Structure 1
Amino acid sequence: MLFGYSIGTWMLLTIMICFSGSALLIWYAAKSSGQFDDVEGVKYRMLEEESAVDVPIDAKR
């Protein structure tokens, strides 16, 4: 027992530090690649009207 904690406690602490570190690395990689630059624009682009498609006048419906 190191500092009064069992080996299981130290293993859990080590695993949680590894998970937290990997989450920070994934967040940093996503931030560096620009994935969080325009999170609001996607919902507005979805609602924008796209240019009209040219449909022949004699097209059957």
Structure 2
Amino acid sequence: MSVMYVLISISIFVAIIFLILFVKSVKNGQFDDGYTPSIRMLFEDEVKKQSKTNKNNNSN
């Protein structure tokens, strides 16, 4: 039974370490998308056309 306490303690410690590393990487901009905003203008017209088509089809 004492092994369970050790394993739970270790797993909580590892989970806290991963949480700290995740928060640190988010604050440093690791998950920021630098590519999509630069090409969004290329596909903006297609999105507008599709939304107009969907609105027209729904109203009929």
TM-score tier, shorter chain, comes to 0.5 to 0.7
Shift of 1:30: 0.1
Instruction: Specify which of 9, 15, 33 is matched with residue 14 of structure 1.
Output: 9
Please list the CA deviations of residues 20-41 of structure 1 after superposition, one character each: whole Å capped at 9, or x if unmatched. 00000000000000110117x2
Any gaps of 5 or more consecutive residues in structure 2? 37-60
* Partner residue, 1:25: 20
TM-score (norm 1): 0.54
Q: How many angstroms apart in 1 are the aligned matches of 2:4 and 2:15?
A: 16
* Structure with max Cα Rg: 1
* Structure that is richer in helix per residue: 2
Aligned length: 36
Q: Over aligned residues, Cα RMSD in angstroms?
A: 1.7
Any gaps of 5 or more consecutive residues in structure 1? 1-5, 43-61
